[in-house]
């Protein structure tokens, strides 16, 4: 890791630590009610009991796995659909607005319908997680391909580049940053939906723990489970960042 990369990580961790210390002081001085926000130290200390009582690590991997499966499905649907909308301009113009509108609707509220269709199982989580993930991926894939510089395409044409190589060696690398913006947005919405449905139907991973701890008024444990959700989110954000860097180093 170069200095350029280390500094933001150190600054980020320092900022997080500083916020935790400030929050600790705020709770200690009574500026924040302990019943609403626990001390960060209490949250950290609740991890062992949460692991013992609720298998935190196991449920962390359940949520992570559900998010990974739903994201994989979202990619399988979103990327080709975005490409289709790019290739067929009329469909792209016709459907992009509808997709954007669908993306802004709280699909999570349709969970009773999905429970009826798929039952109270992982499939409901995966399908409901996949829908809000696939939409931004499709939109951004289309936008990324539309945004490929005409000059770069002309460079390809001037070198007699085949259609296949034009896509692989020019269009795709050119569109990668925009597509990955869609993937990052998609995976975050997928995670939010999965945790929300776990919470609502009391099934699955971290969302279920948050729900149960909240119902028990176990505030530090509730926050500890939320921290675990943040770790899932960080994992995907970091992971897709690595993949993007691998596909397009600069």
List of residues contacting other proteins (CB under 8 A): 149, 151-152, 154-155, 157-161, 165, 169-170, 173-174, 176, 248-250
Tell me the three-class secondary structure of 73-87, residue by residue.
HHHHHHHHHHHHHHH
Of 14 and 159, which CB lies nearer to other proteins in the complex structure? 159
Of 62 and 179, which CB lies nearer to other proteins in the complex structure? 179
Q: Min. distance of Cβ 143 from other proteins in angstroms?
A: 18
Of 165 and 202, which CB lies nearer to other proteins in the complex structure? 165
> How far apart, in whole angstroms, are the C-alpha atoms of residue 127 and residue 81?
17
Q: Min. distance of Cβ 159 from other proteins in angstroms?
A: 5
- CA-based nearest residue to 247, from 185, 175, 183: 175
Q: Min. distance of Cβ 248 from other proteins in angstroms?
A: 5
Of 113 and 146, which CB lies nearer to other proteins in the complex structure? 146
> How far apart, in whole angstroms, are the C-alpha atoms of residue 92 and residue 111?
28
**Is 221:47 a contact under the CB 8 Å cutoff?**
no
> How far apart, in whole angstroms, are the C-alpha atoms of residue 168 and residue 166?
6
């Amino acid at each position: 890791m170069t200095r350029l990369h280390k500094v933001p990580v150190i600054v980020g961790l320092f900022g997080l630590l500083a916020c935790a210390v400030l929050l600790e002081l705020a709770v200690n001085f009574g500026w924040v009610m302990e019943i609403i926000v626990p001390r960060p130290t209490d949250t950290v200390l609740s991890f062992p009991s949460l692991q013992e009582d609720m298998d935190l690590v196991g449920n962390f991997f359940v949520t992570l796995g559900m998010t990974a499966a739903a994201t994989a499905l979202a990619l399988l649907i979103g990327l080709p659909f975005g490409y289709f909308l790019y290739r067929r301009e009329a469909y792209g113009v016709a459907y992009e607005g509808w997709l954007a509108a669908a993306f802004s609707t709280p699909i999570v509220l349709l969970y009773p319908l999905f429970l009826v269709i798929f039952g109270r199982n992982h499939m409901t989580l995966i399908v409901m997680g996949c829908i809000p993930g696939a939409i931004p991926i499709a939109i951004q894939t289309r936008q990324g391909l539309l945004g490929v510089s005409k000059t770069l395409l002309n460079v390809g044409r001037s070198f007699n580049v085949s259609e296949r190589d034009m896509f692989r060696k020019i269009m795709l690398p050119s569109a990668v940053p925009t597509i990955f913006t869609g993937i990052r947005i998609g995976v975050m919405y997928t995670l939010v939906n999965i945790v929300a449905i776990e919470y609502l139907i009391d099934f699955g991973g971290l969302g279920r723990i948050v729900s149960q701890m909240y119902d028990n008024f176990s505030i530090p444990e509730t926050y500890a489970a939320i921290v675990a959700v943040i770790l899932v989110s960080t994992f995907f954000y970091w992971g897709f960042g690595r993949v993007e860097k691998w596909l397009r180093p600069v």
